[in-house]
Structure 1
Amino acid sequence: MESADAPSPPRGRLPRPALAIIAPLAAAAVLAACAPGTGSGPPAVTQPAPPPDEAENALLRDAEQRLVADCMTERGFRYWAVPTTDDEGLRPLGFVLDDTAWARAHGYGGGSLARAADERDANPNAAYVRELTEERQRAYAAALRGGAGTPELSIDLPGGGTAVSRLGGCEGEAGRRLYGDLAAWTRADTLTANLTPLYVPEITRDARFTRALAAWSACMAAAGLPYERPDQVRAEARRKAAGLAPDAVTVAEAPLAMAEAQCGASTGLAGTARRLEAEYRERLPERYRSAVGERTELARAALPRARAITGRTA
């Protein structure tokens, strides 16, 4: 057993992949812990703390909405905290599908996206704002996001361009209450969501990827679907589903999605893409890997507050 005044073991983080070529993967900070027993040998290493999963991210969004609603009420406006939809069809697709059961049930998720769009159109907040006078609409916008002179944060995006976020109003207050350092959260969240341009081109040129993609294309051709890439199949699915009602969209998409998934699994293309993404993300400049780790830390710290605010667990 180590003595009470023994030096603390080193602590640090090694951010790891958090996005699958469009979809999130598990990964994040590695924390070193004191080794039990005599204290001899290297410190034990705990399991990496993963970034929040989809349910936890939804919990954070819902908590933020609750805080915004409370703030807007205090400022004399009505605001509805619309809960995040739990539609399984809205999950990220990734580079290629390999879940045939999901593809059978949801196609490419087009039906779920159409339903989500209908829900946005029916959002009570939008209807409420439309009923306000122009003067009250301006006051509403200032209360929600801040008026003239509100601090703004400019973030240079990895793939080029700049994102500008306002840090004021009830949205800013909600973010500060939930995450503490709103600027740090906004920067880390924005960078983490925009890293793919840095490594996806390299992945698609990697020989391991091109071999797996060729096998996938051959598998699709054998099924009577001569496509070279998954994005081509998805474009065809969108064409078939154009103008259809949400449930009919799923029916139209499902056959192509199932074929893509069956070949994605049998040829190993999906697994290859995930492994290569993990590898290439490890090569990102430190400032970007640090952003992934910082987002994880801030989100994990905010989850207990989100549970208290919403009265539920993720």
Structure 2
Amino acid sequence: MRRTAAALGAGTATVLCALAACTAPAAEPAHRPTSPPRLTDAQLARIERAEGLLIQRCMARKGFQYTPVPPSVAQPTRGSGFVLDDIAWARAHGYGSRGLHEPRGGKRQEPDRGYLRSLSAAHRARYSATLSGTASEGVLTAELPTGGTLATARGGCRARAEEELYGDRATWFRVSSTAMNLTPLWVPKLVEDTRFKKALGAWSACMRDKGHRYADPSEIRAALPALAKGLGKNKARAIETALAVAEATCARDSALADRARALKRTYFAPVRAKYREELALHDRLEAAALTRADALIPRS
């Protein structure tokens, strides 16, 4: 399940989506139920691979082809999550993503597209129901921290895969719905903080002085695929590296990364404290899922 910024304004969600995703949920140092360390991107990718394998096996038993989408694991960026601030790392790795220059929505994301086109309309409907379940099989619901409710079908191969990995799927759905939807409770306050606005303005001015007109770091990520379109790998990489180095240099000069980290601690701390039990349970279930994933996909 992915974090959502549905309750935020478009600008706020765009500006700090990466910051929220990078930092939530984090272990609280005291007065919190025992929680394992947060999993790395590589560990989360192992869970995703295991889930794909379980879905594939389930679909095969039902007579359908299913090809899991390989997780795309980028090298971890350095900084607050919102802005890169390690100049040497940026020079060596750019933004750390193998697929950063590729436009979204390519064939890689839909490996079974041709197979689905080969099915009749009735069989495609059966495929969808087998994969994702139907309301007639019952639904799980979870109340969101921001109000409103999320619902998901109890049946389907995706549900069975989650059940096998996380154990109690109803509990996992509830705590993950909480953990992944805390952003609207603290990001708007951070975005409106004059200290953040001042640092972001200084970063943007620094980038402008270097010939790059971007209001915030997320605009660079959004622009890169178009900037690299039609270029060879080396030229595309050179563009990425130059922008990454400029971003990191300006993040240092403007103290934007430090300011974002400090304000995140200020605004997220009370939210984390309020939901400490749910976040601790989320982390324990995720750690247990990793153990099960490792049993399914032995380390090479």
Deviates more, 1:173-182 or 1:255-264: 255-264
Is the contact made by 1:30 and 1:49 (CA closer than 8 Å) also made in structure 2?
no
Is the contact made by 1:99 and 1:261 (CA closer than 8 Å) also made in structure 2?
yes
Q: Distance in 1 between matches of 2:97 and 2:191?
A: 24
1:100 equivalent to 2:99? Answer no
Residue 178 (structure 1) aligns with: 165
Superposition pairs of residues 146-185 of structure 1, within 5 angstroms: 146-159=133-146, 162-185=149-172
1:118 equivalent to 2:106? Answer yes
Q: What is the TM-score of this pair, normalised by structure 2?
A: 0.76
1:115 CA displacement: 6.5
The one of the two structures with greater contact order (alpha-carbon pairs below 8 A, sep at least 6) is: 2
Residues 91 and 135 (structure 1), Cα distance of their counterparts in 2 relative to 1, 3 Å cut = farther
Q: Distance in 2 between matches of 1:110 and 1:283?
A: 36
Is the contact made by 1:108 and 1:234 (CA closer than 8 Å) also made in structure 2?
no
Residues 110 and 231 (structure 1), Cα distance of their counterparts in 2 relative to 1, 3 Å cut = farther
Seq. identity, %: 36
Residues 232 and 102 (structure 1), Cα distance of their counterparts in 2 relative to 1, 3 Å cut = same
Q: Distance in 2 between matches of 1:92 and 1:65?
A: 31
- Structure 1 unaligned runs (5+)? 1-18, 33-44
Question: Which digits, 9 at most, give the CA deviation of each residue in 1:117-141, with x for residues without a partner?
Answer: 4353551x33222212222222222
Give the RMSD, CA atoms, in angstroms: 3.6
Question: Which digits, 9 at most, give the CA deviation of each residue in 1:247-269, with x for residues without a partner?
Answer: 46544444333211111134331
Residues 246 and 152 (structure 1), Cα distance of their counterparts in 2 relative to 1, 3 Å cut = farther
Is the contact made by 2:142 and 2:149 (CA closer than 8 Å) also made in structure 1?
yes
Aligned length: 281
Residues 260 and 143 (structure 1), Cα distance of their counterparts in 2 relative to 1, 3 Å cut = same
Residues 310 and 255 (structure 1), Cα distance of their counterparts in 2 relative to 1, 3 Å cut = same
SS at match of 2:141: strand
SS at match of 1:164: strand
Is the contact made by 2:34 and 2:280 (CA closer than 8 Å) also made in structure 1?
no
Residue 203 (structure 1) aligns with: 190
Q: What is the TM-score of this pair, normalised by structure 1?
A: 0.73
Q: 1:139 aligns with which of 118, 126, 130?
A: 126
Larger radius of gyration: 1
- Structure 2 unaligned runs (5+)? 1-17
Q: Distance in 2 between matches of 1:236 and 1:139?
A: 39
Residue 27 (structure 1) aligns with: 26
Residues 108 and 235 (structure 1), Cα distance of their counterparts in 2 relative to 1, 3 Å cut = farther
SS at match of 1:20: helix
1:273 CA displacement: 1.0
